[in-house]
Structures are given as C-alpha cells and as structure tokens.
Amino acid sequence: DTAVSQTPKYLVTQMGNDKSIKCEQNLGHDTMYWYKQDSKKFLKIMFSYNNKELIINETVPNRFSPKSPDKAHLNLHINSLELGDSAVYFCASSQVRTSEETQYFGPGTRLLVL
Amino acid sequence: EDQVTQSPEALRLQEGESSSLNCSYTVSGLRGLFWYRQDPGKGPEFLFTLYSAGEEKEKERLKATLTKKESFLHITAPKPEDSATYLCAVRSYGNNRLAFGKGNQVVVIP
C-alpha cells in the first residue's frame, strides 16, 4: 500500500530517557514533516525537510533532532524526555511545487512520558 | 502569522440533520485551504483543497466552499459514520507550513 507509515505506534517511557520515532513514505514525495498534536488536539508543525534539507525548524527545544537519511525517511530523536513531551507525533509528506501540494499524514505515534 | 479559527468546537447532530462547520482564516496570501477528517486514534485524512474564492468541492455528503475570509464544510443528511473531528488548515504563499485550526468535533446520533 502507498502511504506514510510510522513506528512505533505507542511509546511509553520514563523521564530522562532518549527515544526515536521513525517515518517512511512511499508516495515519492520530496518533502516530509513532523507535527505535534497536544492533549487539546491542536496540530502544530515542528520540522520540515525537502530533499533531505531542513527547511522548517519551529521553536522546538533542541532536545528534538530530526534526521532525514533520504527523501523517503524522516526520523525524530528526542533526548532527555520530559513530562510535557507527552503528545501524539504525526509525520506527513507532500510534493511541493505542484498544483496540489497536499500533505498526507501517517497514523501517529502516541508518546507517554512517565 | 497565518491564523485559523474553527467553529463550533463541538457539534451533536441527529442522523439526517444537515449542518455547516465554519473555518475563518487570516493569511497574507492564500495558497490553499485544506480540510481533513480525523478519527480517534488515527492521523488526519485528506478531504479537500480549495484555492480561490467561489470554489466548491463535493465528496459524498460533504461539500466545501471558500470565500475570501472563510470556508464552510456542509454536511448533508449526516450518518453516524460521519462522526469525526474535521480540521481546517491554510497555507500561504512563500510558506511551506500548514496552519491548523483546533477542529470541529462532530457526533452524529443514530
């Protein structure tokens, strides 16, 4: 199936730990994104990569570091996890500079920091 | 900064009772307005993109319209399976990011 996939779906961890979330898209898109959805369901952009180059870097703690090994993958590494990092993290992808430029989202990773 | 306000926050409808969701936006230059549907525990699912005032798009019981200041998502004769949170987002020129509203949570009662 063509889609945006994320692993893991659920992540429960202790404060202070380091964790990673992986994202892959097989839609052939050139741009990938990380969004955070808080407890009030508000979706906010964190990062965006175009052809492996960082193009959006919102005001996010530097404990969060995205890495794009190639156009189809965008991973999110989080150091020294804090309680406030608990949220749902969504990966998305799009093909920019086309008439559509619609962003397609993955199923989300539910992170709970204890 | 692009801003999106959705109303009402929550809506309960009887099956078959048509209604409309509102998305008001402020952007420097609208490149696109997007509607997504989000079911509990899932990622946003793309519904429509609107680009210019006067544009309309339809999909089954949903119809999205656009003016220079707002968009409406009309739900005609809703069914329980239309229960979801509907998210509106805008993208402005020179900007790769989508600015989302907080969503309209719709519950359709059989």
- B98 to chain A, closest Cα gap in Å: 7
Cα–chain center distance at A7: 10
* Nearest-angstrom CA–CA distance, A100 and A107: 21
Residue count (chain A): 114
| pLDDT, tens only, B89-99 | 999 887 778 89
List of chain A residues with pLDDT < 70: 1-2, 97-100
* Nearest-angstrom CA–CA distance, B75 and B53: 20
| pLDDT, tens only, A61-88 | 999 999 999 999 999 999 999 999 999 9
Q: Which residues lie closer than 8 Å to B44 by C-beta, 6 or more apart?
A: A43, A90, A105, B36, B37, B38, B87
Cβ pair B69, B55 in contact under 8 A: no
Query: If phi over 0 gives left and psi between -120 and 50 gives alpha, with beta otherwise, what is residue A108?
Result: left
CA-nearest residue to A38 within chain B is: B102
- Give contacts of A 40-79 with B, CB under 8 A: 40-45, 48, 50, 55-56, 58
Residue count (chain B): 110
B102/A42 Cβ within 8 A: yes
* Nearest-angstrom CA–CA distance, B48 and A80: 39
| pLDDT, tens only, B1-17 | 889 999 999 999 999 99
pLDDT attached to residue A40: 80
Mean pLDDT for all residues in chain B:
95
Prior bond to A66 cis, omega within 30?
A: no
Coil, helix or strand at residue A19 = strand
User: Quick one: tokens of A65?
Assistant: 């570091």
